[in-house]
Chain A
Amino acid sequence: MLFLLHEALTNFRRHGLMTMAAITTIAVSLALLGGFLLTFYQVSNAARRAVDAFEMRVFCRQEIRKEALPALKQRITALQGVASVRYLSREQIWAEQTKNYPIDTSGIPNQMPDTFVVKLSDARRATALSEEIRNWRESVDSVDLPESEMNSVLRIADFLRNVGMAGAFVLVGGALIVVSNTIRISVFARRREIKIMQLVGATPWFIRFPLLIEGMLHGLLGGALAALCLLGAGHSLGNLVRENVPMLVPYLASVDMLRFGLALALGGALLGAGGSLVSIRRYLRAL
């Protein structure tokens, strides 16, 4: 086993150029894939936050009794698609109005209704929810929902999600092809060695093992290199946004780059090992 590991590591030195080519090719394709996934995550997260920012306001009838309000709050909370419900009393709202618009509100009685501010967990159910609540005529006067703005943002979020999925699909496929092709080329360069090993009586696993380890290391190092590049690029880009476009900061999601880099490196290792096994198989086909 030690000999096989030693062989795998020595081959790194022996086939230096091929090793470098394999690692950089894998790094570039994984960096592209990783960069796209990070960007997609940020954009879709921003779209989700924009949707989440919308609120529905439920205005109660003027004649509603204060004792009925907790039951109404509970009734709204129980609806599917509701994340949270906040109660604003008519006195609270009036106090705020008089503070903000003292001239407009002076000398007139409190016209404001008791209000529930509803945050939604599923923006797609917003219209259905507002329709349902509007029908509670004995206690609800009206429901305010910025429907058209909300639908526009939802359409953009849907579009981004579809484009992202398609892009990720294409890039994952591309990375798979590039990595397995790179490994195949490095195995092809060793076909003479494989043939000689076969002729001197080496078993298939004896031949496979060092190449498998090599493929895995190519993938691991390529993935790690890609993760390092993305870490640097992500950090610089984050700083740029913070300094120049501070309004975007609330929309930036924090990503555990260490975990992401680790996943990228391990993904590379898996791709490398799988690619090696598949590529070696054709050279080991015995009669």
Chain B
Amino acid sequence: MLLIDCPYCGPRPEIEFTYGGEAHRARPADPAALSDEEWAGYLYLRRNPKGRHAERWRHAHGCGRFFNALRDTVSDAFLATYRVNETPPPPTIGPEAAA
């Protein structure tokens, strides 16, 4: 079973978690000033990268907290997890991991 490292509780089985979409998306300060296309882009368009992806997860059946994760969408490996108010850390596993 895939283990996900909750920043609060430590490594836990994936069945305790729910996915929360792409991370670090800032809501436009003044939505009324946007064109329909720009607003639709904020609402619906996501990066969907092949490779490293910063995304939100929630430890729904644990501490209940949202946090962010760096995940490789090709290998499904969780490279790092961090709290919502933190900047993405360097990956803890994989070729980019610090020695």
Pair from one complex: no
